[in-house]
């Protein structure tokens, strides 16, 4: 007779032991958790050090793009003035051409009324060269002196007007290219800064605190390097004075004369003091890329304004400012000298002395005084003495 008992779950054997179905599910979960633990972490967020490096790189790239923006802006401004001048010239020459055309038309009308054989006025005025038209119709020898002068004037005005129109057209094309370069540079700066802000916004409070600690450590090291430079410069200055005194005692002024150009009392020193005083007066004002004052500055905008206050005109961009003076070694840096940074020469500050400078650092920061080693000794590109 058939059995009516319910069949028992066979379960699963583990190491020869029969286990219930529920236990099987639990073991499966344990196995999956074990695999997850042994697998690579799913959090692919960059480390704090990577974030710091990425943000610093983005700020430097934004600084480089800012200088390209400054160059494009300056070029666009100059080109716009050139085009405006050309268009004004075209307008004036067009008026002269119309006056010459009117005078020719009056001569043609007068000759028509007298029955003289002359070309139709409309045909004459639409001709590529009225001079050729008159010559082909053998009329030049029948024109009066005043009429010949009118023809010559018309031909000249037509040629000059066409030439200026071509220059204006070419100028407008160049202006369009400059404006496109300006838009591209502006977009690049904005994208770099937006990416940097996004990275910083994703940091936790703890990570921001750690980042601040890293920055403080960098500043401490930069201050130490500045103190070393100040000590070195003081020693070199003392040695220079000792040599001058020795030379004077020997009755020779050659040593004194050779160092006169760099002495604090020289003309260059006076201008440098004025430039430095201006820069220090801007401390606390915000960095704004592309700004040249008076309320905000970018790095090259600050150095340009500072030396302008001293009566010296510097170019707008770091790329050009680096060539606007005499290059000296870091150990020979004097107050007012320009200190340039990075291989792409994308940053500049004004040397104060004792290894420090005044500069407009980066977006979100303010004009401040700090060590020229703020980003490490290797970041210094060169030191240039204007004027």
From the candidates 359, 361, 385, 387, which is the catalytic residue? 359
From the candidates 97, 189, 226, 299, which is the catalytic residue? 299
Residue 369, SS3 per DSSP = strand
CA distance 360 to 387: 22
Dihedral sign (CA 277, 267, 327, 321): positive
From the candidates 316, 347, 356, 362, which is the catalytic residue? 347
Smallest Cα–Cα separation from 346: which of 65, 73, 72, 54?
A: 65
Residue 329, SS3 per DSSP = coil
Residue 347 designated active-site = yes
Q: Are 355 and 232 in contact (CB under 8 A)?
A: no
Dihedral, 276, 282, 286, 292 alpha carbons, nearest 10: -70
Residue 299 designated active-site = yes
Give the CA count within 13 Å in the CB-facing half-sphere of 125.
16
Dihedral sign (CA 354, 358, 359, 361): positive
E strand intervals along the chain: 12-14, 17-19, 326-328, 338-341, 347-353, 356-359, 368-371, 380-385
Distances (CA, A) of 262 to 319, 352, 387: 24, 15, 11
- Distance between first and last Cα of the chain: 119
Residue 343 designated active-site = no
CA distance 3 to 5: 6
Neighbouring residues of 106: CB distance < 8 A, sequence distance ≥ 6: none
Which two tokens mark 95?
């008026």
Supply the residues annotated as catalytic.
299, 347, 359
């Amino acid at each position: 007779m058939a059995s009516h008992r319910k069949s028992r779950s066979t379960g699963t054997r583990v190491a020869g032991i029969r286990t219930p179905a529920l236990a099987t599910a639990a073991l499966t979960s344990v196995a999956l958790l074990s695999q997850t633990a042994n697998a690579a972490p799913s959090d692919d967020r960059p480390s704090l050090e990577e974030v710091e490096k990425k943000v610093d790189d983005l700020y430097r790239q934004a600084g480089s793009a800012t200088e390209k923006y400054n160059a494009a802006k300056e070029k666009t401004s100059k080109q716009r003035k050139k085009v405006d001048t050309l268009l004004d010239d075209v307008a004036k020459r067009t008026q002269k051409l119309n006056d010459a055309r009117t005078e020719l038309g009056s001569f043609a009308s007068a000759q028509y009324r007298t029955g003289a054989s002359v070309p139709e006025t409309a045909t004459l005025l639409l001709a590529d060269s009225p001079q050729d038209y008159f010559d082909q119709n053998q009329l030049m020898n029948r024109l009066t002196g005043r009429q010949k002068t009118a023809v010559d004037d018309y031909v000249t005005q037509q040629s000059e007007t066409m030439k200026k129109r071509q220059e204006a057209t070419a100028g407008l094309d160049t202006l369009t290219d400059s404006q496109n370069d300006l838009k591209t540079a502006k977009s690049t700066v904005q994208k770099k800064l937006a990416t940097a802000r996004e990275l910083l916004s994703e940091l936790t409070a703890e990570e921001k605190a750690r980042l601040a600690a890293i920055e403080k450590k960098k500043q401490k090291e930069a201050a130490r390097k500045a103190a070393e430079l100040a000590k070195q410069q003081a020693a070199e200055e003392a040695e220079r004075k000792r040599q001058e005194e020795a030379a004077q005692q020997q009755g020779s002024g050659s040593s004194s004369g050779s160092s006169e150009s760099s002495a604090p009392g020289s003309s260059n020193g006076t201008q440098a003091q004025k430039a430095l005083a201006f820069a220090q007066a801007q401390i606390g004002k915000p960095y704004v890329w592309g700004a040249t004052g008076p309320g905000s500055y970018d790095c090259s905008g600050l150095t340009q304004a500072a030396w302008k206050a001293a009566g010296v005109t510097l170019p707008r961009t770091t790329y050009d400012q680096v060539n606007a003076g005499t290059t000296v070694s870091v150990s020979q840096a004097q107050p007012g000298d320009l200190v340039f940074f990075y291989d792409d020469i994308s940053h500049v500050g004004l040397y104060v002395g004792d290894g420090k400078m005044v500069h407009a650092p980066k977006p979100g920061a303010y004009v401040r005084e700090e060590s020229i080693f703020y980003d490490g000794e290797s970041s210094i590109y060169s030191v240039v003495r204007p004027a």
